[in-house]
Amino acid sequence: MLEYKRIKSFAESDLAELFLSVNWFSGKYPEKLKVAFENSDKVISAWDDTTLVGLIRGLDDGTWQATIDCLLVHPEYQGRGIASALLESLLEEYADFMYVTVVPENKSNVPFYEKHGFFIMENGTAMQKKGKTLNY
């Protein structure tokens, strides 16, 4: 049975395993992930006993703007509604915010977010700059 938790402190090994399971490059930097989640505004995780199987993180200013930074579910647990449960729980916490933004890393995930009320901004576009310390 899955359990959802609102915690911000994770073992580096749990974060690395989850992020690498979905081929996210950031999984190679578990020490940075650990600090990032500890400093996040909102974090909701899904657990199967002691195994971290899903995670969502929100960054916000407290009232106006919130950004969903990442949403991931271990491949062995995908298709069970975990991502939707994580997203809906976070959106409930952001219900009174003016805007909630998400920039899916993969365009194939757009329909998932549209199903949850997000829309593609007519004139907006995502932009990103990579830090100096990333070695691809």
Q: According to the model, what pLDDT value does residue 127 have?
A: 77
Residue 122 lies in a domain: no
Instruction: Judge contact between 101 and 68, C-beta under 8 A.
Output: yes
Q: According to the model, what pLDDT value does residue 107 have?
A: 86
User: What range does the domain containing 37 cover?
Assistant: 2-115
Q: According to the model, what pLDDT value does residue 104 have?
A: 86
Number of domains in the chain: 1
Per-residue pLDDT tens over the stretch 3-30: 999 999 999 999 999 999 999 999 999 9
Q: According to the model, what pLDDT value does residue 13 have?
A: 98
Instruction: Say which CATH number the domain at 99 has.
Output: 3.40.630.30
Task: List, edge to edge, every strand of the sheet that includes 51-60.
Answer: 2-5, 42-48, 51-60, 65-73, 99-102
Phi, psi dihedrals of residue 15, rounded to the nearest 5°: -65, -45
Q: Which parts of the chain are beta strand (E)?
A: 2-5, 42-48, 51-60, 65-73, 99-102
Alpha carbons 127 and 30: distance in angstroms, whole number: 24
Query: What are the residues whose beta carbons fall under 8 Å from the beta carbon of 98, sequence distance 6 or more?
Result: 63, 64, 65
CA 97 to mean position of chain CA atoms? 18
Q: According to the model, what pLDDT value does residue 7 have?
A: 97
> In which residue ranges of the chain is pLDDT below 70?
133-136
